[in-house]
């Protein structure tokens, strides 16, 4: 049985974590399937935005399946670090996974690897009962990717509160610190995320991709370099279908029909 599913709905790729019996904890199969599905979304030209959600109402993800992790470590021998890193790795956590917008729809516990995954997204919508934590220090493991993304998104001080205390924080704390964009009733988390995704998908996907790249990668570039690259890409699309269609639709007072070119 697949533990991560993918469905395309009107240019929205819906990725669902599907191990509700263990609160969607990541084991080697789930890591592998998630990365396969995420790559499928990235390479799918008809997918313009993604929503990552989870089965069940208890957890977005409770983190790593520690029992599975322990099994990988046992008897690992030489080269263990490389083999473990290859198994326990989410591509979305990397510096820049792709230029398409990605939304996390979070209900229940969002812990450890689950929170690291959410931090790798661009927008995060949480339910009122959502709880967040980075408790890796409790099992003697340092937090790396979530520490980097967390400091970028919510500032070093707030990120360190999660990282160093290893305590849970609620949805309102997450909203105040900028960890999530919006808090809604639990039953409205997915519908709200899909509504946001629909609004994004109604815009030019090419324009959105260039905008996301300019926003995210501006952290690593000088202002002048970021502007020069952005202007170059914007000028390259001025004569394309979407830019022309956008102008015509505005003049004709109708909804544009974008195709991503």
pLDDT band at 240 (very low <50, low <70, confident <90, very high): confident
Give CA torsion, residues 37, 40, 45, 46, to 10 deg: -40
Give the list of residues 6+ apart from residue 29 with CB closer than 8 angstroms, or none. Answer: 3
Burial bucket for residue 114 (CB in 10 Å: 0-12, 13-18, 19+): buried
pLDDT single digits (tens) 198-236: 999 999 999 999 899 888 877 777 777 767 776 776 776
Contact 141, 161 (CB under 8 A): no
Q: What is the pLDDT of residue 183?
A: 98
Burial bucket for residue 12 (CB in 10 Å: 0-12, 13-18, 19+): buried
Average pLDDT, the chain: 88
Average pLDDT over residues 238-252: 74
Sign of the four-CA dihedral 137, 142, 148, 151? positive
What pTM did the predictor assign?
A: 0.90
Q: What is the pLDDT of residue 219?
A: 73
More confident residue, 36 or 140: 36
Q: Best-predicted range by mean pLDDT among 10-14, 78-82, 255-259?
A: 10-14
Query: What value does the CA radius of gyration of the chain take, rounded to a whole number of Å?
Result: 19
Residue with token string 């030489």: 78
How are beta strands 169-170 and 109-111 bridged, if at all?
Answer: unpaired
pLDDT single digits (tens) 61-113: 999 987 766 665 555 555 555 656 666 788 887 778 899 999 999 999 999 99
- C-alpha 80/C-alpha 100 separation (Å) is 34
């Amino acid at each position: 049985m697949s533990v991560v599913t993918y469905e395309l709905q009107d240019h929205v790729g819906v990725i669902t974590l599907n191990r509700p019996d263990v609160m969607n904890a990541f084991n080697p199969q789930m890591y592998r399937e998630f990365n396969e599905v995420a790559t499928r979304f990235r390479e799918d030209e008809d997918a313009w935005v993604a929503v990552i959600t989870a089965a069940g109402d208890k957890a977005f993800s409770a983190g790593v399946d520690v029992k599975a992790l322990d099994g990988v470590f046992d008897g690992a021998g030489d080269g263990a670090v490389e083999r473990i890193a290859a198994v326990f790795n989410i591509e979305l956590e990397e510096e820049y996974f792709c230029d398409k917008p990605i939304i996390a729809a979070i209900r229940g516990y969002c812990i450890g690897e689950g929170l690291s995954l959410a931090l790798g997204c661009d927008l995060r919508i949480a339910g009122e009962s959502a709880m967040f934590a980075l408790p890796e220090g409790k099992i003697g493991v340092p937090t790396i990717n979530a520490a980097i993304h967390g400091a970028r998104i919510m500032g070093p001080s707030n990120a360190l509160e999660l990282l160093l205390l290893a305590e849970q924080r609620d949805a309102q704390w997450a909203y105040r610190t900028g960890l999530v964009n919006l808090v809604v009733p639990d039953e409205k988390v997915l519908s709200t995320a899909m509504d946001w995704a629909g609004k994004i998908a109604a815009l030019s996907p090419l324009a959105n991709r260039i905008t996301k790249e300019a926003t995210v990668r501006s952290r690593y570039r000088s202002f002048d370099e970021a502007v020069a690259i952005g202007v170059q890409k914007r000028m390259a699309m001025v004569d394309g279908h979407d830019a022309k269609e956008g102008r015509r639709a505005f003049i004709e007072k109708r909804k544009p029909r974008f195709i991503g070119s």
